Chains A and B, each alone.
Chain A
């Protein structure tokens, strides 16, 4: 035992890179929503890639360390405090037995990641430690942390030499409360009228309170579908198509109002037309937006999406090397 949960925060879950490769049985990947912040946390504490950490949403927990540990907090500006003293983010920190990690109010972004040297040692379920709360599997007992929970930390050896390492300022993201997310238009965008596609791309959408690990719902415009006869196998709503798979990051618009971006814990397929997909790199940006923030969607080609992904991988390799 190494971490005792004194207060759980609003929604604190164990996450890793996710349970990928199980779409065939309808299992979404779960996993850290902001992959960049989560991974960099592991680099800071010297973990293997894929070690489990905690994803902290909007309001932080209060965690007592029952043995000394090497930790890092990355992601949202949710100022960490050790025994009440403010501590830096994006930097490797040492905590001693009995130290309490707590957090001040959220200043920007939405999700913080706590990395602990050795990783959070919960049982592996289907090659991942990520929590999928809807079904209640993975992570710590398949649910968000609760008061009184005790988490084991994996064996790490002495990592005290890492304390004080920090991510170069150039690599620390600044989170906007009105970001632009790049999307690839498709797979069922043909269902939208051309005018409505322009409306979708020109509207400044607002993140509603229904924005979580399953989906982010937006408000701000109304979209219309092309009139058609209901095909065999599709539902009656104009937004319905014959069931197909939903990529992570895909955007559906049930009823023509309130587009929903599907996230890591979303249903893997269904019968709503998906009009576009947020590119993988920008899902990290989405993960750092919060209820009442603004968002715009910009159409890009596959080339730009892949280039952004390559660039992100180079950046992460650079950070990893600098912290090695």
Chain B
């Protein structure tokens, strides 16, 4: 099956969990539906939910939790 990616729309800091006390939105191997949040990007004092655009299984996170990301950077591989 073709690999798809979810990209960061804007530069910032990537978070895999909604808050420090919670677990990640989704783990590698987990399935997501279109519209599901897979992480957050923090920039300009706001957190922006990053959503899957289609259904799939997360094959790989390409960026770690709390890492810097640039606009258009691939965050997650979906299959």
Contacts and interface: CB of A to CB of B under 8 A. Distances in A.
A256 B48 CA distance: 30
Contact of A59 (B10, B68, B69): B10
Contact of A106 (B42, B44, B68, B71): B71
A209 B12 CA distance: 6
Contact of B11 (A11, A58, A210): A58
B13 interface: yes
B30 to A, nearest CB: 26
Interface string B63-79: 00000111110000000
A290 B43 CA distance: 10
Contacts, number: 52
Interface residues of B, number: 16
Contacts of A209: 12-13, 42-45
A302 interface: no
Instruction: From A58, A106, A212, A291, name the one whose CB has the most chain B CB atoms within 10 angstroms.
Output: A291
Is chain A's binding surface mostly helix, strand, loop or mixed?
loop
Interface string A176-207: 00000000000000000000000000000000
Contact of B12 (A11, A107, A291): A291
Contacts of A10: 9-10, 43-44, 48
A106 B11 CA distance: 9
A23 B11 CA distance: 32
Contacts of A145: none
A290 B11 contact: yes
A56 to B, nearest CB: 11
Interface in A8-53: 10-11
A73 interface: no
B42 to A, nearest CB: 5
A244 interface: no
Interface in A44-83: 57-59
B7 interface: yes
A105 interface: yes
Contacts of A290: 11, 71
Nearest to A210: B45
A292 interface: yes
A292 B68 contact: yes
A105 B71 contact: yes
Interface string B9-23: 111110000000000
A286 interface: no
Interface of B: 7, 9-13, 42-45, 48, 68-72
